[in-house]
Amino acid sequence: MFQEGISQAAVKPRTHHKLRTTKNRRVLISITNALLGILVPVALLIIWEVAGALNILNPILLPAPSDILEELISLAQSGELASHFGISAYRALLGFLLGGGLGLAAGIWVGFSYSAERLLDPSLQMLRTLPHLAIAPLFILWFGFGETSKILLIAKGSFFPLYVNAFLGIRSVDSKLFDVARVLQFSRWDLITKLIIPASLPNIFLGVRLSIGVAWLGLVVAEMMGSSSGIGYLINDARSFSLTTVVFSGIIVFALIGKGSDSLVRWLEKRMLKWQDSYQGGGRS
């Protein structure tokens, strides 16, 4: 008994040391990944700034990063940027919720029903290929220059990524899982909620990420085609006056909010799909 107590006491420090080493390794890997992620952008910004300082670049066509940053700060301090951004965010969110929600529902329905697939999928696939720029004039003609045409244009773009990925996610569920469900005597409701939907969540989350990206693209088209407010309008108005720093400021805002929304969905995906065991590009962090 005494020897066993000594052995257990010796194992505990070793276990704590191993856990601490693993945690430190994960932190080091995270820091390394973050540094690698910003290495290329920082290098490009330095080269760009140096080229601007040496007058190699035309400041009207391609202003230096410091000038763009100064303009961005000025727009933020004046409140103009926040005002336009609030309007754009409202349009993008509403369009995404409308189009993405309908796309998810349609993808689940078509995924579960072969009859619905034969009825709807050919038409939806044809509509999916229509570009925003071709549809935008019709939307303005039908619904005017108000909010309705903008939100519907964003919804049109957000619909298809979620539709396609929800449909593929359901159809790509491993058939062996259905054998397990049959052995466990799952009801149809249990089959849907405990097997099919969870197994298709990776595809659905991918569809959400793509839909959010397309929503911002649709927003730019909608606001540049006919609008008196929003980041897209700010960019288009600045372009007509050759205010390139303002154009770049609007682009930076779109890039930051797009990256932020994508990172949020990825974080939610990791939290909800902890059970997923997939290849991580050479090792887990």
- The answer to whether 169 touches 222, Cβ cutoff 8 Å, is no
Q: Decide: pTM greater than 0.85.
A: no
Task: Say what the pLDDT of residue 176 is.
Answer: 75
Task: Say what the pLDDT of residue 155 is.
Answer: 92
What is the residue-level pLDDT of the chain in tens, covering all 285 positions? 544 444 554 445 556 556 666 666 777 777 777 777 778 888 888 888 888 888 888 888 888 888 889 999 998 898 888 898 898 999 999 999 999 999 999 998 888 888 888 888 888 888 888 887 778 788 888 888 788 888 998 999 899 999 999 998 888 877 777 777 777 777 777 777 777 788 888 889 999 999 998 898 888 888 877 777 888 888 888 888 888 999 999 899 988 888 888 888 888 888 887 766 554 554 444
Task: Say what the pLDDT of residue 196 is.
Answer: 78
Rounded to the nearest 10°, the torsion over CA 128, 131, 134, 135 is 50
The pair phi, psi for residue 184, each rounded to 5°, is -80, 0
Task: Say what the pLDDT of residue 19 is.
Answer: 60
Residues with Cβ within 8 Å of 259's Cβ and at least 6 positions away in sequence, in order, are none
Angle at 127 between CA 101 and CA 151, to 5 degrees: 45
Alpha-carbon 81 to chain mean position = 22
Residues with Cβ within 8 Å of 99's Cβ and at least 6 positions away in sequence, in order, are 154, 155, 156, 157, 158, 159, 162, 211, 215
Task: Say what the pLDDT of residue 125 is.
Answer: 87
Cα–Cα dist 76/63, whole Å: 19
- The answer to whether 215 touches 99, Cβ cutoff 8 Å, is yes
Task: Say what the pLDDT of residue 15 is.
Answer: 60
Task: Say what the pLDDT of residue 184 is.
Answer: 73
Task: Say what the pLDDT of residue 283 is.
Answer: 45
